[in-house]
Structure 1
Amino acid sequence: MYMIVKHTHLTIIALTFIFFIINFVLTMKGSDKVNNKLLKIGPHVLYALFICTFVYMIIVNPLNLYPFVNGWASSKLGGFVLYVLSITFTLKWAKSTLWRIVGLISTIFWLLMTARLGFAHHLKSKGIVDDANAYLELGQSMLTGIC
């Protein structure tokens, strides 16, 4: 059951990114289709499902990785929050094309950093907080350099 939920979780992440790209393209074109009900509600449903699968995997996880106890799980949670904030910035708060492109780069960056952290098996098995924090510091410094 854990593997089914894990693959569902990864599929949800891919779908949130697909919805983001569709919304981004429509926003850049100035299309009225950006107000489509599915494009407005769909990502929120996916975020709720994402959180449900995250909670399930934290409760059932075989490695005993818990947010706020283990640096790896906390970093993953922080990466997700920054990913969603980047999406919000890009689609809602940014008013110029330049800032929307900066938001696009930020969104892709946080998705890739969080994915990279997800595949850092040595961090999961050892539970080393310093290495996980090093990933976050690297991400923050790169984002600061981009902006």
Structure 2
Amino acid sequence: MYMLVKHAHLTIILLTFVLFIISFVLTMKKSEMVNNKLLKIGPHVLYTLFVITFVYMVAVNPLNLYPFVNGWASSKLGGFVLYVLSITLALKWAKSNLWRFVGLISAIFWLVMSARLAYADRLKVKGSVEDPNAYVEFVQSALVAIC
């Protein structure tokens, strides 16, 4: 069941990103299709499903990863919040195209950082890495991925 929910979680992330890109392009083109019901309601439904799958995976995870207890899980949660805020900046708050692109780049950045963090196995278990160089290596690899 855990793997099924995990794959649903990843699919939801992909769908939110696809709907964001579609909405962003339509917003940039000043199209009336941006007011489509699917594009207005769909992301909220997906975010709700995302949170439900996140709570389930945190509750039954085999590594005891809990937000606000384990830095890895807290970072993932923070990345999601910043991702959603970046999308909101790009689609609603921004009044100029420059700020819309800032929101787009920011959303992509937080999505990539959260995905990169998802595969940082050595950082997942609290206390498993006592070597501070592991964190330095992680930050360096993240910066390389960005640049």
Q: Which residue does the alignment assign to 2:4?
A: 4
**Equivalent residues of 2:9, 2:50 under 8 A apart:** yes
TM-score (normalizing by structure 2):
0.87
Higher helix share: 1
1:43 equivalenced with 2:48 (yes/no): no
One-letter amino acid matched to 2:65 = L
Let me know the Cα RMSD of the aligned residues: 2.0
**Equivalent residues of 2:70, 2:125 under 8 A apart:** no
Q: Which residue does the alignment assign to 1:107?
A: 107
Q: Distance in 2 between matches of 1:121 and 1:105?
A: 26
Q: Distance in 2 between matches of 1:20 and 1:83?
A: 11
Q: Which runs of 5+ in 1 are unaligned?
A: 143-147
Q: Distance in 1 between matches of 2:46 and 2:126?
A: 31
Q: Which runs of 5+ in 2 are unaligned?
A: none
Paired residues, number: 137
TM-score (normalizing by structure 1):
0.87
**Equivalent residues of 2:6, 2:57 under 8 A apart:** yes
**Matched residues, percent identical?**
74
Q: Distance in 1 between matches of 2:78 and 2:15?
A: 19
Q: Distance in 2 between matches of 1:89 and 1:32?
A: 19
Deviation, 1:126, is 4.9
Trace 1:1-147 onto structure 2 (pairs within 5 A): 1-126=1-126, 131=135
